[in-house]
Amino acid sequence: MTQVEELAALIARFAPTDGVHATPIPRLKVVRLSQPSEPMHGLHEPALCIIAQGAKQVILGDRIYRYDAAHSLVVSLDLPVIGQVIEATPEKPYLCVKLELDPLAISALMLEAAPLPSGSCHRVRA
């Protein structure tokens, strides 16, 4: 069993039915959908979203970001988006783990961290 398959099995265990499910770990949620969704307008808060099975797209302005088991989504600030699960079936549902990020805690952590040597940070463009 691959690591992605193990993650899918864990998500399925904690999300036995469609919907968003809380976990015992604060800010950690698991999501299951058995069919593609309609596009949904909303405000995406800071989070790390890792898909173990299926695929989703997020539209921000005129850009479309598709993510799946090979591509994760990190949102660092509140953004108005349109989200849509685009790959999901009852046999292979969309399975995602979402870690909601606390911007204040991340800022404090960055201030405590030692500065990186010059030239060690690279900006990645989508």
Name the average pLDDT for the chain.
Answer: 90
Higher pLDDT, 111 or 84: 84
Three state DSSP letters for the chain: CCHHHHHHHHHHHHCCCCEEEECCCCCEEEEEECCCCCCEEEEECCEEEEEEECEEEEEECCEEEEEECCECEEECCCEEEEEEEEECCCCCCEEEEEEECCHHHHHHHHHHCCCCCCCCCCCCCC
Higher pLDDT, 106 or 102: 102
* pLDDT tens digit sequence for 3-12: 999 999 999 9
**What is the rounded average pLDDT of the residues 82-86?**
98
* pLDDT tens digit sequence for 27-58: 999 999 999 999 999 999 999 999 999 999 99
